[in-house]
Amino acid sequence: MEIRASLYSEKRKQADLLVAALFEGEKYPSKLLQKMDPAAYATFEQAIKANRFSGKEGESLPVFGTTNFSEAKDILLIGLGKKDAFHAEKLRKTIGNILGRAKCQKSKSVRFLVESFTGSKVSFAQASGIIPETLWLADYKFDKYLEKKKDAPSPKVEKVDLLSGDAKQEKALQSAVERSEIIAQAVNLTRDLINEPANVMSPRAFAGKASEVAKKSKLRIKVLELPEIKRLKMSGVIAVSQGSNEPPRFVVLEYGAQHKSKGTICLVGKGVCFDSGGISIKPSKDMEKMKYDMSGAATVVGTLQAISELKPHAHVVGIAPLVENMPSGTASRPGDIITYSNRKSVEIINTDAEGRLILADALLYACENYKPKAVIDLATLTGACAVALADKCAGLMTNDSAIGKRLITAGEAVGERLWELPMWEDYFEIIKGHHSDILNAGSGYGGTITAAKFLEQFVTCKSWAHLDIAGVAWVDSAKPYNFRGATGFGVRLLCEFLESWR
């Protein structure tokens, strides 16, 4: 889909569809519409006066198949509801729904009157980024394995014009479009990595994809294989991967080495390319979804691709431990004890609590090798988090309230919300070992927090945040701007956070 900024006065061919919006209670459409297309303005104005359209949320007024309009063959007026209740996430859902409607109408070219979608908590600058970003995200579909019939192609919107009122707006709008495209491409890359089946996206294949991204984006990359992993005594990676025929990988991506003086930020992502649960095998129901247990690692790769183009003034290191967790004669057993490079011993109570085992190695590696100013890890770590928060937000646990607040603010700005959970020392008592220093699983209660307390034992920097994305990394049914499957959650949040890093 091609999206571009355009002045309302610019000469152009007639589009298939023109879309404008109106808040509840407003008596007139945008005055800019009157300048662009007087006939369209008059049509909407008459409908409002005749009480055929009130601007209520979700209301729409389509006018199709006339020859009266200069700007487009068809026009559509969308209700946004009460202005004081309008916010960025409502705009995202509205834009996603409009794209679906345009596809159903087989509109190949669509124009949006951007200023009509602004008001209250959504400025023109915000709408300028949200509209194109959402259009690209909503247009995503993972269908590479479907047999495509040439005689029945899926309807597509090919071209979108975002219309502005003056040259200053157009310039700002175009900049926002360019930034949105970078981020949307990174989110969609992340979705692709996650949606690939495990027989395709193995640890080796994932490392190969990361290498491709590094080459294209001019990032430094290091890929550690099993001999080096053993030399570095990465006990968690070794223990989890030893039941699989697929050897582990440990990927390190680096951006912005010239900004080291500002302090390094390490992003760590859980990369279990398939999680059977190991000897503590999972139930068969929904096990096919466990290909998405590498969503954290995919988010790290997607984020590094994005910031290589956004170019924030930050030194960012992305770390992704990659394994398969499988049951076999060589798999780790419940009751096995492993010792990490920091000499902490861990008893494996449950082999399905494997993500924290490999993240411990990654956190140690990050802290020891980069002495980071901050570490942020992302992981589909606990079903308990999905139970507590559903698919509405991710869990946040941190040892630094300042970084927690910054992440929450970034998440609110982009529609990827976080909810902070307590990290009281009492929770560590649940996983305190008897024959080892730590247990890798507790009693079942407070599972999201005890998992974070486990990770905390391997963090030596003063500013660390753990994001449990188990409930938000995957959706089972299509949302307005999320196709069924991987969401790419975290890329937009981290880009927002890193661009404001000082």
Please tell me the total number of residues recorded for the chain in this structure: 502
SS3 457: coil
- Are 354 and 296 a contacting pair, CB within 8 Å? no
SS3 232: coil
Q: Looking at 282, 344, 373, 479, which residue is catalytic?
A: 282
SS3 396: strand
Q: Strands 374-379 and 264-269: what pairing? A: parallel
SS3 438: strand
- Phi, psi angles (nearest 5°) of residue 230: -70, -40
Cα separation values, 462 from 377, 399, 451, Å: 14, 7, 19
Check residue 324 and give left, alpha or beta (phi > 0: left; psi -120 to 50: alpha): beta
Report which secondary-structure segment, H or E, holds 464. Answer: strand 464-468
Report which secondary-structure segment, H or E, holds 195. Answer: helix 167-195
Catalytic (active site) residue 222: no
SS3 89: helix
Cα-Cα-Cα-Cα torsion 411, 413, 414, 419, nearest 10 degrees, comes to 20
Q: What is the largest CA-CA distance in the chain?
A: 81
Q: Which amino acid is at 112?
A: F
Residue 447 to residue 425: CA distance in whole angstroms: 14
Catalytic (active site) residue 231: no
- Which of the 8 DSSP states describes residue 225? -
For residue 254, what are the contacts with CB-CB under 8 A and spacing of at least 6? 219, 220, 221, 222, 315, 316, 317, 318
Token output for 142: 């993972």
Report which secondary-structure segment, H or E, holds 414. Answer: helix 401-414
Q: Looking at 249, 291, 356, 453, which residue is catalytic?
A: 356
What is the CB neighbour count within 10 angstroms for residue 15?
Answer: 21
For residue 188, what are the contacts with CB-CB under 8 A and spacing of at least 6? 136, 137, 140, 488
Residue 130 to residue 128: CA distance in whole angstroms: 6
Residue 355 to residue 79: CA distance in whole angstroms: 45
- Residues known to be catalytic: 282, 356
